[in-house]
Amino acid sequence: MSNSLQSVLDYDAVMSVPGNSAAKRRLPIGIQTFRLIREEGCYYVDKTAHIQRLVDAGRHYFLSRPRRFGKSLLLDTIKELFEGSEELFRGLAVHDQWDWGVRHPVLRLDFGAGHFDTPGQLEALFGDKLDAVERSAGVAAAGATAAGRFAALIEALRGSAGRRVVILIDEYDKPILDALEAPEVARANRDFLRGIYSVIKDCDAHVKFTFLTGVSRFSKVSLFSGLNNLTDITLDPAYSAICGYTEQDLDEVFAPELPGLDRGEVRRWYNGYSWLGAEKVYNPFDILLLFRQRKFKAHWFETGSPKFLIDTLLRRGVPTPDLEGMVGTEALLSAFDVDEMSVEALLFQTGYLTITGEDAENGLAQYQLGYPNREVRQSLNERLLVALLPDASRRLAQKTSLRRLLADNDFAGLEAFFRSLFAGVPHQWHVNNNIQDYEGYYASVVYSCFAAHGFDLIPEDSSSAGRADMVVRFDGGVYVFEFKSVGKGASGTALAQIKEKGYADKYLRLGRPVHLVGVEFSREDRNIAAFEVARAA
């Protein structure tokens, strides 16, 4: 055992004694290697009890989680466990439960490093991966096809080690996701992978354990038809925290990093992901960057590009307020393939929406979806606003004025602000964005303006008499909005509806000032036809 690792383990033993206060450790930002984390004394959230349960309960598993959620580190931990690296696990939950005298060969494939948007790239990289495994293990495998060579390699590893093989595949879906804008390549990559993954079942006698991870949940029919014995733990409450950090993890593991940070703000910005477990989890990347920079910002969001998602939402005409009210079954949330991709599945699997509630209807679970936290709601709506409005200068101008206007209850200024905003929209822009009703387009712009500034919003706010289009809670006040698309000469219907339906009644009981805002958009003039405000009494 190295001296550095021994000192880490000695430190762990000392800090486990009640009454000892923890000291700061290294933040494992960007480190996906379990050995490095343990040997270099980084913070580590112990996930090994989950791994032990998986091994005890079955053999072949699949897990979907959004990017940067710790999937690669999880697989690397499993690798070290099956390879018998006992010294790395001292002090962890699995240590006293594992048979360290048994070691298994591990075949790990990671598709994260390649880019697969042109023909032939996947096949070439897969061959390189098999070459590397053969060199490392000192075995050779021959086969006329990629699938045949993969099968031969599994058998060779079994024969060489005398024990069954552990197969770990990280980012199993990336070769398909990279090529979604080139569907013919995506379909070819999918079909190639289907043949590769079917080998695992064919070689079952030589396989000890299988774990595949990725962002998306491709249907078993399209990708896993030959590997239909996989257990999908994506929505299994017992494994909801197998990736990500819980509140308890922050309190116990990261306690030295918390002083000076507002815990309420930490929760609002970054907590909220749910895969039906008892508690919600944080994205690890967000938390680690927060601890390093001590700033609340879109750490996770800024590392990705949601262009394909934004284009899909606009192409399908999804109004932005509707994103917080989506509902889907487990089958719908899994309906992801090159030629069949529901908006709900795309948003959920990529981490832009999460499960906020569950209802059972006729034995069929229905999941309510919503934004997990402020980071995602605010950042995604900033990108949507960029797509909805063509004039960047107008978008930047709004950032300096929207909060001030609402703080001052300057409704005349608020009306002028939105009139100016919409005046910059070209006549044909609405049609180009495929949101086929004017009300949906303009309401989307208004909603995304407020959401991009981090306002506390409730879209489609329900009451006993109906639903208000949007409610904003800000600075102790409540603002109830109703949007209407009207023809020439019509006005006054939006504000009248708020009053007649009593949308604001439930807020009056809170003793806060409540403002009613009716906004009407002219189909002919492509701008605001009426902007009426009243104080609820």
Q: How far apart are CA 408 and CA 405, in angstroms?
A: 5
The amino acid sitting at 97 is Q
| Claim to verify: residue 257 and residue 232 sit in the same structural domain | no
pLDDT tens per residue across span 517-527: 999 998 887 88
- The string of DSSP codes covering 329-342 is -HHHHT-B-SS-B-
**Single residue among 239, 269, 290 that ends a domain in this structure:** 239
| Claim to verify: residue 56 and residue 188 sit in the same structural domain | yes
331 is a domain residue: no
| Claim to verify: residue 53 and residue 185 sit in the same structural domain | yes
pLDDT score at 80: 98
The amino acid sitting at 45 is V
| Claim to verify: residue 463 and residue 512 sit in the same structural domain | yes
Q: With contact defined as beta carbons under 8 Å apart, do 381 and 448 qualify?
A: yes
Q: Is 8 exposed, middle or buried (0-12, 13-18, 19+ CB in 10 A)?
A: buried
Q: Enter the DSSP assignment of 429.
A: H
377 is a domain residue: no
176 is a domain residue: yes
CA distance from start to end of the chain: 74
| Claim to verify: residue 178 and residue 68 sit in the same structural domain | yes
Beta bridge partners of 62: 212, 232
257 is a domain residue: yes
| Claim to verify: residue 421 and residue 442 sit in the same structural domain | yes
pLDDT score at 351: 96
Q: With contact defined as beta carbons under 8 Å apart, do 112 and 58 qualify?
A: no
| Claim to verify: residue 425 and residue 294 sit in the same structural domain | no
Beta bridge partners of 107: 167
SS (H, E, C) 254-292: CHHHCCCCCHHHHHHHHCCECCCCCCCEECHHHHHHHHH
Q: Which of 237, 200, 193 is nearest to 214 (CA)?
A: 193
12 is a domain residue: no
Q: Which two structure tokens, joined as six digits, stand for 186?
A: 């995506």
Distance, CA of 112 to chain centre: 17
| Claim to verify: residue 161 and residue 234 sit in the same structural domain | yes
- The string of DSSP codes covering 66-101 is -TTSSHHHHHHHHHHHHTT-GGGGTTSTTGGGS-TT
Residues of the chain where predicted confidence (pLDDT) is lower than 50: 14-21
pTM equals 0.91
| Claim to verify: residue 188 and residue 70 sit in the same structural domain | yes
22 is a domain residue: no
Torsion-angle region of 364 (φ positive above 0: left; ψ -120 to 50: alpha; else: beta)? beta
**Single residue among 199, 215, 239 that ends a domain in this structure:** 239
**Single residue among 239, 258, 289 that ends a domain in this structure:** 239
pLDDT tens per residue across span 263-313: 999 999 999 999 999 899 999 999 999 999 999 999 999 999 899 999 999
Q: What is the dihedral of CA 485, 490, 491, 494, to 10 degrees?
A: -40
Q: With contact defined as beta carbons under 8 Å apart, do 478 and 509 qualify?
A: no
pLDDT score at 427: 61
| Claim to verify: residue 116 and residue 233 sit in the same structural domain | yes
Look up the CATH number of the domain holding residue 88.
3.40.50
pLDDT score at 519: 94
Q: How far apart are CA 55 and CA 46, in angstroms?
A: 16
415 is a domain residue: yes
359 is a domain residue: no
Look up the CATH number of the domain holding residue 469.
3.40.1350.10
| Claim to verify: residue 218 and residue 258 sit in the same structural domain | no
| Claim to verify: residue 401 and residue 510 sit in the same structural domain | yes
The angle that helices 263-270 and 374-388 make with each other, rounded to 10 degrees, is 50
**Average pLDDT score, the chain:** 89
Handedness of CA 421, 426, 428, 432 (dihedral sign): negative
Q: Enter the DSSP assignment of 389.
A: -
Which domain covers residue 431, as residue numbers?
A: 390-535
pLDDT score at 19: 40
pLDDT score at 14: 44
**Tokens 């329900």 — which residue?**
462
The total number of structural domains that make up the chain: 3
